[in-house]
Chain A
């Protein structure tokens, strides 16, 4: 589904990604872990098409097409979803109206009729249950004055509405208490199917107790320095990132 080859990216001439290789197939859950500043969010942003970042080398294929050639909105309509580490506030635009626009733009792209108010509301009601989000929250301005947890839940709710092929969740777990974490994880698990995939970006092993990854990768200094199964997360939890840093230092 997603094939990243030797990806290099920089911002304002500062090199951040230094050769990422990653292969994600349909049905898989991958986790990317790594210390602060290692480039996790940068990778997510580059994949989503944020144009502050310059891809200096490498290629990314998404479902067999060149992802880097597409505009951010095309990527989204093709089924790439990013749950933001810091969701953005848009005053004056109700969450419902925003999501409705998003859903219908995506439908238009796929040659489907837009959902009318009734059908949309029905879909919304159904998906709201998945993340136990409240109707009153959705009638408020998008993310404005939402608590940290509400913002994250709203991201997963949008994911549920848009049903992406590939969902990238950037530290969706941080800032969530244990109950909220469980709700979010349950939501993600329910949405998991054989024909979609998830890329979890996280700091902590905690989330991976609930969403069990097939593969764990460690990102450090803009490169994937170690990959393994879910045990790798536990090892990291136990030993911290220092041993990775040490290993990397020894290799050089």
Chain B
């Protein structure tokens, strides 16, 4: 075997630069999961009775399916011991700081290190941030400014307290607590996350974003995000995630629900960079996430994800195209290196007439990793003249990694058109040598090829994040070549 292939396989993971641990005193629940823990969480969050009831209902449902953890995904991992996880951990400080100035300086430093300033003056204009560390939101910027237009942007905990009607109406309406194993678990134990409501006809004037950070040891992160865009509203939202390097695996099971009412548009972008584990496959986040949106008539939901982190990714951002003429989009780049495993894709459920969906999935595998695309396109019997186009491309670096595509198509309507295209290619030695011969070193050549391959998806990201995401792609694959 030639040297190039060997170096491709050396897969020395570059330093995960977000791997630090912040030394913050935490207010924690004991390890384990039972009704008392759920009561504890609910109490810590000062929740109303209805919320606790909802949680307990979800918990009882989860108990009934406890041994039925899904096994259909193309991933393998040791059995998760749900009693050996801490379900609540909060940095010790006033739960809800009165203003951003009151945030613990250590916490502020953590976010500074991540390149996220919670100081409104220092922020790039045009981005409001909600920062979530372990189980709680520690602050949301630009709240007042957004409120002037009737936009609510706050932590879900706050929303439960201050906007119970909206939460009651929409939480669980897109992802019911019984939807799946991890959604049930999340419904029982979710700790924080972001809530956003854009009123009728309002175009949100800035990007909204949430940064999730797991800090404490043995702690699971179960956040819950709910975005509602009322009729004719528009919002672009970005989430980012990082975690310290730890030898044990940590569980992250989030639920994200998007509601785009008639003629509304939601653009949801994710740059997922949870700790992927080391190059021997030790440690890393298990990422089991349920993300789904529902579109009213003429509404549009667009998911864009750049997935570079996590030891295991199990994630299928989906769109229910309920209203006529609704549009769903899914743009994804998933990178796996070393021993990472990703089983990710989307579901596009065409219900209304003239609904359209577009899926662009780009999988990049290196090292000994496994990268699967799993997508469902379902066209209901009344979804006349609907259209789907799916493009799933895989790119392999080296020959010890795997790429798999599992497209499922179910159509019950003969006037609709579903198209699926898939390609698999390899970064060839010829390509690398050609670049080398033009003075481009192998590392740069790989970055050039990867970014070219992922361009269609990267172009969907908000400008501010596209550059960051490009760098992230290169960093995730650094060391996977000579």
Q: Which residues of A contact B (CB under 8 A)?
A: 48-52, 71-73, 75-77, 81-82, 84, 87-94, 97-99, 101-102, 105-106, 109, 141, 158, 162
Contacts and interface: CB of A to CB of B under 8 A. Distances in A.
A49 B455 CA distance: 30
Contact of A76 (B4, B438, B451, B454): B438
Interface in B68-123: none
B2 interface: yes
Nearest to B456: A92
Given A84-B437, A97-B448, 12 more contacts: A73-B441, A76-B439, A81-B437, A87-B434, A92-B451, A92-B454, A97-B452, A98-B435, A99-B438, A105-B438, A105-B439, A105-B440
Interface in B414-442: 425, 428-431, 433-442
Nearest to B447: A101
B430 A72 contact: no
Nearest to A87: B434
- The 5 residue pairs across chains A and B that have the minimum distance between CB atoms: A92-B452, A93-B452, A102-B438, A72-B436, A76-B439
B448 A88 contact: no
Contacts of A99: 438
Given A90-B431, A92-B452, A49 B436 contact: yes
16 contacts: A49-B437, A52-B429, A71-B436, A73-B436, A73-B439, A76-B438, A89-B431, A91-B425, A92-B449, A94-B452, A98-B435, A99-B438, A102-B440, A105-B440, A105-B444, A109-B439
B61 interface: no
A73 B425 CA distance: 24
A44 to B, nearest CB: 10
Contacts of A102: 435, 438-440
Interface of B: 2-4, 425, 428-431, 433-442, 444, 448-449, 451-455
Contacts of A109: 439
Contacts of B439: 73, 76-77, 102, 105-106, 109, 162
A84 B437 CA distance: 10
A30 B274 CA distance: 57
A90 B441 contact: no
Nearest to A88: B434
A84 B444 contact: no
A9 to B, nearest CB: 15
Contacts of B434: 84, 87-88, 90
Residue from B434, B441, B454 having most chain A Cβ neighbours under 10 A: B434
Nearest to B3: A51
A75 B442 CA distance: 14
Contacts of A75: 437
A132 B441 CA distance: 29
Contact of A51 (B4, B425, B430, B435): B4
Contacts of A71: 436, 441
A76 B437 contact: yes
Nearest to A109: B439
A6 B440 CA distance: 30
Contacts of A84: 434, 437
A162 B3 contact: no
B438 A158 contact: yes
Contact of A82 (B4, B437, B448): B437
A51 B428 CA distance: 14
Given A50-B433, A51-B3, A90 B440 contact: no
Given A50-B433, A51-B3, A88-B431, A93 B438 contact: no
Contacts of A88: 428, 430-431, 433-434
A91 B452 contact: yes
Nearest to B423: A91
B449 A90 contact: yes
A188 B378 CA distance: 58
Contacts of B4: 51
Contacts of B433: 48, 50, 72, 88
Contact of A48 (B437, B442, B448, B452): B437
Contact of B2 (A52, A93, A106, A141): A52
Given A72-B433, A73-B436, A105 B441 contact: yes
Contacts of A77: 439
B436 A76 contact: yes
Nearest to A92: B452
B452 A90 contact: yes
A73 B449 contact: no
B437 A72 contact: yes
A92 B440 contact: no
Contacts of B448: 90, 93, 97-98, 101
Point out which of B434, B439, B442, B448 has the most chain A C-beta atoms below 10 A from its C-beta.
B439
Which of B429, B433, B438, B452 has the most A CB atoms < 10 Å from its CB?
B438
A88 to B, nearest CB: 4
Contacts of A94: 452
A87 B435 CA distance: 11
B407 to A, nearest CB: 21
Contacts of A93: 448-449, 452
Nearest to A50: B433
B444 A101 contact: yes
A228 B444 CA distance: 43
A162 to B, nearest CB: 7
Contacts of B428: 88
B225 to A, nearest CB: 32
A92 B437 contact: no
A98 B445 CA distance: 9
A141 B452 contact: yes
Contacts of A106: 439
Contacts of B452: 90-94, 97, 141
A81 B438 CA distance: 7
A84 B435 CA distance: 12
Contacts of B441: 71, 73, 105
Nearest to A79: B439
A86 to B, nearest CB: 9
A88 B433 CA distance: 9
Contacts of A91: 425, 452-453
Nearest to A161: B438
A48 B434 CA distance: 10
